[in-house]
Amino acid sequence: MSLSARVQWGAGISLGKGTVVKAYAVVQSGGGAVRFGRECAISSFVHVSTGAGEVIAGDYVRIAANATLVGTTKEVRDRNVLIKDQPEKEPNGIRIGSDVLIGSGAVVLPGADIARGAVIGAGSIVSGSVPEYAIVVGAPARVVGYRQ
């Protein structure tokens, strides 16, 4: 792990053997677990944050620079309550299977479930399910093909 990375170590954060967190990446828990399996790579300027949700990833996951993974978000509907005082939405969390590539600048939102072998294109926004070995791009992300 780079000395310039910021990992909020605690019981809720675990990184598997051989997993690296590169310079200027941030991995933090606001109550939910963050777990990455073996031999994952979290590139520079990646931000992983949980809130009450979890961010759980399998083995051999690659996250390119500037990607953001957010495990939960605020409820914002009540305009009579300041945003800072709004409660968190139901913690959906994020699930990422093994052998997944998340491209540069991608945003993975609460409730995302990315299956084994999927590829998330650069700049894509993922909020739902991504099938095994699918290649998805866009905002919102949509399937454009499958790994052969």
Beta strands 142-146 and 125-126 are unpaired
What are the pLDDT tens digits along the chain (148 aa)? Answer: 667 778 877 768 999 999 999 999 999 988 889 999 999 999 999 999 988 889 999 999 999 999 999 988 888 888 999 988 988 877 689 999 999 999 999 999 999 999 999 999 999 999 999 999 999 999 999 999 999 9
Q: What is the Cα–Cα distance from 144 to 108, expressed in whole angstroms?
A: 18
| pLDDT score, position 89 | 79
CATH of 6-75+82-146 given 2.160.10.10, 3.90.1150.10, 3.40.50.300, 3.20.20.210: 2.160.10.10
Where do we find the tokens 């910021």? 6
Output the six-digit token pair for 43.
């590139």
Q: Which sign, positive or negative, has the C-alpha torsion 120, 17, 27, 43?
A: negative
Q: Concatenated DSSP letters for the chain?
A: --TT-EE--STTEEE-TT-EE-TT-EEE-SSS-EEE-TT-EE-TT-EEE-TTS-EEE-SS-EE-TT-EEES--B----TTS-GGGSPBPP---EEE-SS-EE-TT-EE-TT-EE-TT-EE-TT-EE-SEE-TTEEEETTTTEEEEE--
| pLDDT score, position 1 | 67
